[in-house]
Amino acid sequence: MRVAWGATGPGDGPVGRRVAVTGIGVLAHAGIGVDAFWQGLSRPAEVSHHRRVEGFDPNAYFGPKEVRRVDRFTQMAVAAAEEAFEAAGRPDVDPARAGVWVGTGVGGLESLEVQVMVNAERGPRRVSPFLVPMMMANAAPATISMRFGLRGPCETTVTACAAGTQAIANAARLVATGRCVLAVAGGAEAAMTATAQAGFTNMTALSSVGISRPFDRDRDGFVMGEGAGMLVLEDMEHALARGATIHAELAGAASNADAHHITAPSPGGSGAVACMEMALADAGLSPSDIVHINAHGTSTPLNDAAEAEAIGKLFGHPGPPVTSIKGVNGHALGAAGGVEAVTSVLTIQRRAIPPTGGLENLEFDLDVVVGEPRAWEPGPMLSNSFGFGGHNGSLVFLPPSEG
């Protein structure tokens, strides 16, 4: 990963410290915790207009008073961060050089909607004094920083569906530059409210039949999901010196903008192509080096078509194996990139590519994994997120033995 970009792109700048992934934590519709989540990614896609995280108990992470003062998206962020930090061995580092960076699309929307109704029905004096810290988008990283005593940079990325991916990229750059020895990074979202569902429905973004089918010729929109995915990113030398388990290396990252439309991707996937090219250059790789892509794959007509065209332009046809986990999980908006980054690390760790749920009639000339997990020899791979507003993000992961 580069610490400075030259005149023509990331490949021109000096190389920074290597960034290791030493901890992963996740909860999504597929399952709570890494093992249950991984198993759940292979189950059949269901017919439902939402993909909730069933069985999540925030009381396991917060006291009886505190739990009522924390929005669901923050609760899930903390749960995923706890699992990731535990998996990393709860490393003892200088708190001033340990940071947090969490992405979200909308933050505490559920708390906001509830208190709007309280104000309308019972008056302003009954509005919770905790509304603002519950709804603010930076509540998740702030709570994580306080939970673990991390006093380095504590920041939030709010870039729609690319937020989790871009948050991880930003945190990795903190480690690569030496500003941080360790960073907890990912995405969290719990925006499945009645108003949000109505808004997405009325803009015709959601599937009318409740089926998420990425890259399928009959796809008709996404299904809303929720969840959180977190990584512990660590200076490789520091991680090796303390004997940490290295799950993967984050070797490159990039972000850019389509500058085209508030919801539609740029024609031909031009923004996505440029983003993937920059991420590869950041990692010092070429398209021929990539052996797997965890796609954004939302199941919307325009997004899937643009992403498929972008992959074809850069990697040829059919290109490397592609998967989208949104067939099972739904689209968790700002959490999607974090959850899919965890999936990418698990794909390397478990030496298998999870299938694309819901896909029956592939429309594009891509090698999309369907049916059962596909065994593979782990190598350099991409994890992509392309969000509303033209926000693009790509991450390059390597097996721990690479580089």
277 within domain boundaries: yes
> Is 296 annotated as catalytic?
yes
Tell me what pLDDT residue 402 has.
46
Q: What is the mean pLDDT of the chain?
A: 95
Structurally, the chain folds into a number of domains equal to: 1
Is residue 51 within 8 Å of residue 330, measured between CB atoms?
yes
Q: What is the pTM of this model?
A: 0.97
> Is 49 annotated as catalytic?
no
Q: Which of 238, 247, 292, 296 is catalytic?
A: 296
Residue 6: pLDDT band with limits 50, 70, 90: confident
> Is 261 annotated as catalytic?
no
10 within domain boundaries: no
82 within domain boundaries: yes
Chain segment 347-390, per-residue pLDDT in tens: 999 999 999 999 999 999 999 999 999 999 999 999 999 999 99
> What range does the domain containing 382 cover?
20-398
Q: What's the CATH code of the domain at 359?
A: 3.40.47.10
Tell me what pLDDT residue 401 has.
77
Q: Which of 238, 292, 331, 391 is catalytic?
A: 331
Chain segment 291-310, per-residue pLDDT in tens: 999 999 999 999 999 999 99
- Could you please report the per-residue DSSP string of 285-346? --GGG--EEE----S-HHHHHHHHHHHHHHH-SS-S-EE-THHHH-B-GGGHHHHHHHHHHH
Angle in degrees, CA 372, 392, 269, rounded to 5: 75
Chain segment 81-91, per-residue pLDDT in tens: 999 999 999 99
Q: Which of 29, 154, 161, 238 is catalytic?
A: 161
Residue 9: pLDDT band with limits 50, 70, 90: confident
Tell me what pLDDT residue 213 has.
96
74 within domain boundaries: yes
Chain segment 66-84, per-residue pLDDT in tens: 999 999 999 999 999 999 9
Residue 253: pLDDT above 50? yes
12 within domain boundaries: no
Question: b/e string for 298-307 if b means 16 or more Cβ within 10 A?
Answer: bbbeebbbbb
Tell me what pLDDT residue 13 has.
84
